[in-house]
């Protein structure tokens, strides 16, 4: 039974890791979007930038928040990786 419990937990943990990885990729995507917006602001006219901001096309990314979220997600992924490594050892011992 212990091996089965460990395997079920390993599956749940893999799902959590995948979810965290997807969230981290979305944060990275927001940071890439912010970089694109920053470059666009430098090359577009001031009027165009103002209009784009007014309709929410530019300025929709909070870069600092996205970076903070990415740091937290990467730290969480590191912790999950550590737990997964431990769990693999436990599964090997149970087999």
> Model pTM?
0.83
66 contacts: CB under 8 Å, gap ≥ 6: 27, 30, 31, 34
CA dihedral angle for residue 78, residue 84, residue 80, residue 28, rounded to 10 degrees: 60
Tokens at residue 18, please? 């995948």
**pLDDT tens, residue by residue, 18-60:** 999 999 999 999 999 999 999 999 999 999 999 999 999 998 8
Domain boundaries, the chain: 2-94
What pLDDT, on a 0 to 100 scale, did the predictor assign at position 1?
53
């Amino acid at each position: 039974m212990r091996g089965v419990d460990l395997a079920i937990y390993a599956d749940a943990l893999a799902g959590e890791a995948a979810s965290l990885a997807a969230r981290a990729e979305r944060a990275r995507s927001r940071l890439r979007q912010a970089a694109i917006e920053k470059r666009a602001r430098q090359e577009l006219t001031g009027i165009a930038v103002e209009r784009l901001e007014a309709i929410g096309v530019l300025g929709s990314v909070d870069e600092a928040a996205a970076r903070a979220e990415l740091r937290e997600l990467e730290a969480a992924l590191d912790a999950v990786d550590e737990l997964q490594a431990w769990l693999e050892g436990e599964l090997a011992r149970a087999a």
